[in-house]
């Protein structure tokens, strides 16, 4: 009866009725409206697009990963064969692997740029501390996904990467050996190591990642995009308090941001997220994805010889994004130094990075007014870059 009555109505009325029914039950239009019609700072829109591009690349990794799962077999006997089949016998298999690999490279690069942008603009300061914490954790998760992904092909490179990486926890005092045994499923790398690494790569880390992405986006919407100091300047010829007061009065949601100095509670000029910011987000994401598609097609993803634990001549080389860490291990070759270097220096560095908003609590936003964080950060950045260069030189001279 209901169906026949619905079918007898004019088409437009039918569509309108269906949309109203859907809206009543889900509130989708309202949600979409909330999502699209938020104010964002006018200046620096291309820089903010790095965040959206990061999300787009994560989704690309998700979808290309799902396609790879259709063929990949996580066992030491079949992992390499399944990927070799993709390379030689599947029409688009090699391309999809290439997409997944180049997508991960680009993702690491873009999320790094996004963090640098956020750091330089001091967007992590009150009340956006948790935005930064979730973002920093996401960065480490992306690195975790990259390294566990590199272990899965179970070719020579993957096998020896697994041997090196799963051995690192061993240098941790007291609990190191336990963690290594737990990950490896025994004293040595074997079938259980691969299945556990596979589970970490496709379930544990993505679960954590998408939970954090949800939190990150929620917090972004709650406090609004900070932008940078350039969005909060005032005319020196006019009364500053008056200008700020006026700005706050005519601020559009989500501004004025609460629990922040009045000066930084609302940008001087804003634009709606749709279409002004969204178009920039789409363009940047589309360009990056296009580059990834082309690189995936041209370069693909390498597949080494099948793994051979008995070989004595194979020298494992790290992925480019782990070159600095690898070089760090070269200059810290003995047990106490590895423990100090990896778990002391790097651990402290990672902790400082995650808890940065709780360390840098000054109200200053301009980089030159924040030497207490900019100088150590430059020092760290320089260290990472130089270790990467030295790593390249060392690999050449192996």
Partner 1 sequence: MNLRILLSSLQPVGGSVLTNGVVVAIVILLHIQIATYITGSSTLAIVSEAISMARKDERHGRLAYMMVKSQVQIFAFGSATAILFVLFLLTGLWAIFWTALQQITFWVMVFEAAFFLVEIVLLYSIYANWERLGNHRRARLGMMVLLNITLWWQMFLIDVVASFMLTPNAGDVSILNQILNPTALPLTIHRTIGNLAWAGAVIAVIGAFNYLRLTRHSRVPTPDAPAGLRPLRSIGAMAVGHLETEAKRAEILHWEWVAQWGVIWAVALSLLQPWVGYSYAKEIQLHAYGAWYTLMFGSLSNVFLIQIFLLGMIFILGSLFFWRRMVRSGAPGAGRQLALMVALILLTLLAIQPAWFAGSYADAVAAGGNHPWWQGGLLNPIGNFIPFKVAALIGMVIFGLWSVTSYATALSRGHIVPGGSSRGAQRTALILGVTVSLMMMVMGVLREHSRQPYTINGEITLHQQITNNAPSSSSVDQGQP
**What is the distance between the alpha carbons of residues 234 and 238, in angstroms, rounded to a whole number?**
8
The answer to whether 328 touches 178, Cβ cutoff 8 Å, is: no
**What is the distance between the alpha carbons of residues 264 and 258, in angstroms, rounded to a whole number?**
10
C-alpha dihedral, 180 to 185 to 190 to 195, nearest 10° = -110
Give me the least distance between CB of 373 and partner 1, in Å please. Answer: 9
> Of 195 and 383, which has the nearer Cβ to partner 1?
383
> Of 287 and 330, which has the nearer Cβ to partner 1?
330
> Of 243 and 383, which has the nearer Cβ to partner 1?
383
**What is the distance between the alpha carbons of residues 289 and 291, in angstroms, rounded to a whole number?**
5
Give me the least distance between CB of 336 and partner 1, in Å please. Answer: 5
The answer to whether 365 touches 122, Cβ cutoff 8 Å, is: yes
> Of 81 and 335, which has the nearer Cβ to partner 1?
335
DSSP string, 188-217: S--HHHHHHHHHIIIIIHHHHHHHHHHHHH
**What is the distance between the alpha carbons of residues 246 and 269, in angstroms, rounded to a whole number?**
12
Contacting positions for partner 1 (CB under 8 A):
327, 330-331, 334, 336-337, 340, 345, 368-372, 375-376, 379, 382-383, 386-387, 389-390, 392-394, 396-397
> Of 62 and 385, which has the nearer Cβ to partner 1?
385
Give me the least distance between CB of 389 and partner 1, in Å please. Answer: 6
**What is the distance between the alpha carbons of residues 347 and 345, in angstroms, rounded to a whole number?**
6
Give me the least distance between CB of 393 and partner 1, in Å please. Answer: 4
Give me the least distance between CB of 370 and partner 1, in Å please. Answer: 8
> Of 210 and 320, which has the nearer Cβ to partner 1?
320
Give me the least distance between CB of 221 and partner 1, in Å please. Answer: 33
């Amino acid at each position: 009866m209901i169906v026949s009555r619905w079918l007898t109505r004019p088409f437009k009325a039918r569509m309108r009725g269906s949309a109203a029914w859907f809206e009543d039950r889900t509130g989708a239009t309202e949600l979409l409206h909330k999502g699209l019609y938020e104010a964002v700072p006018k200046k620096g829109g291309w820089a903010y697009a790095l965040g959206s591009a990061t999300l787009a690349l994560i989704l690309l990794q998700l979808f290309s990963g799902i396609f790879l799962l259709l063929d990949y077999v996580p066992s030491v006997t079949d992992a390499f064969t399944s990927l070799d089949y993709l390379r030689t016998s599947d029409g688009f298999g090699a391309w999809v692997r290439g997409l997944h690999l180049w997508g991960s490279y680009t993702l690491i690069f873009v999320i790094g740029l996004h963090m640098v942008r956020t750091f330089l603009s001091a967007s992590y300061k009150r009340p956006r501390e948790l935005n930064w914490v979730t973002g920093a954790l996401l960065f480490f998760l992306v690195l975790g996904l990259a390294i566990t992904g590199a272990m899965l092909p179970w070719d020579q490179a993957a096998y020896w990467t697994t041997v090196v990486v799963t051995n690192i926890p061993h240098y941790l005092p007291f609990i190191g050996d336990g963690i290594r045994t737990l990950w490896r499923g025994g004293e040595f790398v074997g079938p259980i190591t691969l299945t556990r690494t596979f589970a970490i790569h496709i379930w544990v880390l993505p679960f954590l990642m998408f939970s954090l992405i949800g939190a990150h986006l929620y917090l972004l919407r709650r406090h609004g995009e900070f932008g940078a100091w350039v969005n909060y300047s005032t005319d020196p010829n006019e009364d500053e308090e008056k200008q700020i007061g006026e700005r706050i009065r005519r601020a559009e949601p989500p501004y004025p941001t609460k629990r922040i100095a009045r000066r930084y509670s609302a940008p001087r000029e804003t634009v709606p997220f749709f279409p002004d910011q969204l178009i920039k987000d789409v363009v940047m994401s589309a360009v990056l994805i296009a580059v990834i598609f082309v690189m995936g097609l041209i370069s693909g993803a390498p597949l080494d010889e099948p793994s051979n634990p008995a070989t004595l001549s194979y020298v494992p080389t790290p992925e480019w994004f782990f070159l600095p860490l690898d070089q760090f291990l070269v200059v810290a070759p003995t047990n106490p130094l590895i423990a100090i270097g990896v778990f002391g220096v790097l651990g402290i560095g990672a902790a400082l990075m995650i808890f940065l908003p709780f360390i840098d609590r000054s109200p200053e936003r301009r980089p030159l007014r924040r030497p207490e964080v900019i100088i150590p950060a430059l020092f760290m950045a320089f260290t990472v870059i130089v270790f990467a260069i030295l790593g390249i030189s060392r690999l050449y001279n192996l």
